[in-house]
Structure 1
């Protein structure tokens, strides 16, 4: 008590906030209320380690979403998620993002977002199958050049009726690394006592992997890129994609030895125009190996009413049935 009045002692931290001269009762009440709220704040009842814990940083990632039977539809989704303490992995709270939702984004991430948006719009264009595949390959080639081993990349395999508005679950995402080395497709021709074989081969740099019906889905989540362990690789060119599409359902062709000549003439020799074919010794037969040539393309122009239509095609030899 001071001169018959009740006096409150405030913390020194509020000294600079007290008005000079005559102090109004209203101002005193405001200051006391502020001190009371701070004293009884819920944060004071938390462990010290939680009081100063900041919101975890978020990182930028890219999801390759594969839909449909044999994952024939590929879409690209950009996402953000919480980073781990080291800041090198996206670990939780995944969320799809659009370009307009990013207040702060790097130039490279912006290019990836814009490219993913353009890629997803390709399906809305009226393109024939070859033109569509060619445009997808071009977009993905640019995309792989923007990505590196530090990029956060995932594969998400879904069913037909998956909604892209659904938040992705971490348990459904397979983290992968990007390698800029392109994959190519080759063929091995060999024989045993009863059959002659034509075998599809995946080549990544110096590594060769013979593809079987059991392993084709493992190594090719999509026709546009190959997978080996935890790395994905872009296609070198359209010839590699065309070879993969042609032998996707049956990567190993075989014929009884009695029909070796026909088998070589109708299956092997046409492939040698655009692909590298490794010929092992086949008793009684020999072929001159020729290096693969660029894929032959033609452009047909036709008119429909007032419109002009351009139809790109691949020139291939006919195979007798």
Structure 2
């Protein structure tokens, strides 16, 4: 699944092996402790300070270059137009398969970018909150298509991004519960004029949009990242995560998946594999993977879940 080693001249990306990438950090550094790291990684997704320092510090430095360029452009254009408009949020999209680790990437990036000079306000929104409620998906016969492009309220997501890029002061974003496996009707995430907005979701680089609408989610991104790995590795991570959840959160009677809590290891493996093959694999192959090369940067992970190389779009 990882990009083939195409000739550098014909590829729109520059390839950096990990050893070269980590040397690009530049002059500034940040300090994180183990508690910070423990709060950032997701279940069954290993993360350590070395990974943050060698992968995410250089990434933050690179993004900061684009941030500063956007600030300069805003000031110059304001001067030319003789206006004093507010600067709009710098929006970063993060895409990738279920279980690829994009949520961890988003949280780490949020933390590291918030430590940049000037301490920008960095908000993180996941597109899970823009899934249609289960009752809507059930009525449309799409509950087993959750995560596919048609299961999202794309119009609402586009309205949110349009509001952010129009200078709207605040926007209430729906909240999704993985425990309930549904939208929480009485909960909202209030997004108030962030300096940087990270939007994380499996299909954020999708070119398909709501019917009759030629505006795409990615049109609002200033920078985009795809978290990549071999399909076999992603499947293994998904199955392993399912087994860990069966032994932990699925045991909660309030969990949507509580019915799986009594499974033994063999039954759990069979169920996770079935879900992967019937839902997540087709979604990956049909909708998610084809968007990989639309990203500005690709993080390629090895089987150990750590980034082994980075591809950066040429500018």
Question: TM class, shorter-chain normalised?
Answer: under 0.3
TM-score (norm 2): 0.22
TM-score (norm 1): 0.22
* Greater RCO, CA 8 A, separation 6+: 2
Q: Considering only CA atoms, is the larger Rg found in Structure 1 or Structure 2?
A: 1
Structure with greater helix percent = 2
Structure with greater strand percent = 1
